[in-house]
Amino acid sequence: ETGVTQTPRHLVMGMTNKKSLKCEQHLGHNAMYWYKQSAKKPLELMFVYSLEERVENNSVPSRFSPECPNSSHLFLHLHTLQPEDSALYLCASSQTTGPEREQYFGPGTRLTVT
């Protein structure tokens, strides 16, 4: 596999469920990101990890819990979500977190909360 992969590609969950999104990058990068993309709205940066340490948390509700066990893997644990959390969740990676970094995005997980 190459690039950035995400699983599952589609997820439907109830508000009381617990699920996890998985992201894996095969590029040897040191930084990974979670974004939320809702219809007609800008991409929203949720979390940034650099060398497995969280360096940014953009005031994301605690029902979203990230985990970065190593520089190649990133998870987003979900629990007691709300219908407004339905969106496309994109993972990205970059060589570093420096300002000139090009980000490589995965295909996303389309999440529907019922």
> Of the listed pieces 16-24, 45-53, 60-68, 78-86, which binds other proteins according to CB under 8 A?
45-53
Among 41, 53, 59, 70, binds other proteins (CB under 8 A): 41
Q: Are 104 and 41 in contact (CB under 8 A)?
A: no
- Dist CA 60 CA 68 (whole Å): 16
> CB under 8 Å to 101, separation ≥6 — which residues?
31, 94, 95
> 19 vs 16, 28, 80, CA distance in Å?
10, 27, 10
# of chain residues touching other proteins (CB under 8 A): 27
Does the footprint of other proteins cover residue 52 (CB under 8 A)?
A: no
| DSSP type of residue 85 | G
Site string for other proteins, 73-112 (x = CB under 8 A): -----------------x-x----xxxxxxxxxxxx----
Does the footprint of other proteins cover residue 66 (CB under 8 A)?
A: no
* Token couple for 106: 């995965």
Interface residues with other proteins (CB under 8 A) are: 4, 33, 40-45, 48, 50, 55-56, 58, 90, 92, 97-108
